[in-house]
Amino acid sequence: MSATTTTFTADTLRDIVVRRQLEAPLAVVWRAFMEGPEVMKWWGPEGFTAPSARMDVREGGTSVVCMRSPDGQDFYSAWQYSVVVPERRLEYIFNLCGADGTLIDPTTVGMPPGFPRDVPHIITFQSSSAGTELVVTERGYDAGPFYDLSKAGLEQCLDKLERALRAGGRR
């Protein structure tokens, strides 16, 4: 079950906040964000796959994750970590990048002008009686299509995460 809320951070900026109650132990959910093979099971919206995930989850580290569209186009993202508190909290900046992790102008891979850059993400993990409460926050979107696209993509990624956790049978 998910809940999405919108909070305003300035007159024209807003955050996406998605809460999920996952029926899996905290350690298992944490691993789903730490280990490349686990991230590859759920990263990307419906119809997309994640053929690679090079994870360097540590303060100052950068993970590079590939998302492949249904037509075969690869999109790489860099997650540059500033806070890593094991089984509690991740904070990172999200950007599009090349396969080597070098940040790129999103228009070079077909994104429209204005595609957001340097998007702060905060993910919190909390043990609960039902498993794990996960809260994902993406900060600082302008109103408009990128907010809506990111919200839908995040919801779909978390749907895939829930299915992957169920399929893994790890309770």
Task: Find the CATH number of the domain harbouring 59.
Answer: 3.30.530.20
**Does residue 129 sit within a domain?**
yes
**Does residue 84 sit within a domain?**
yes
Q: What is the pLDDT of residue 3?
A: 59
**Does residue 120 sit within a domain?**
yes
**Does residue 123 sit within a domain?**
yes
Q: What is the pLDDT of residue 120?
A: 97
Residues of the chain with pLDDT under 50: 6-10, 170-171
Q: What is the pLDDT of residue 59?
A: 98
- Strands (DSSP E) contained in 27-165 are 49-54, 62-68, 74-85, 89-97, 119-128, 131-142
**Does residue 171 sit within a domain?**
no
Range of the domain at 31: 2-166
Q: What is the pLDDT of residue 114?
A: 84
Q: What is the pLDDT of residue 13?
A: 86
Q: What is the pLDDT of residue 168?
A: 84
Q: What is the pLDDT of residue 11?
A: 58
Number of independent structural domains in the chain: 1
Q: Using alpha carbons, select from 116, 167, 122, 164 the residue that is nearest to residue 16.
A: 122
CB of 44 within 8 A of CB of 68? yes
Quote the tokens at residue 34.
């730490």
Q: What is the pLDDT of residues 11-48, one digit of tens each?
A: 578 999 999 999 999 999 999 999 999 999 999 999 99
**Does residue 31 sit within a domain?**
yes
Q: What is the pLDDT of residue 87?
A: 98
**C-alpha pair distances (Å), 45 with each of 85, 90, 171:** 26, 21, 25
**Does residue 85 sit within a domain?**
yes
Q: What is the pLDDT of residue 171?
A: 41
CB of 170 within 8 A of CB of 24? yes
**Does residue 86 sit within a domain?**
yes
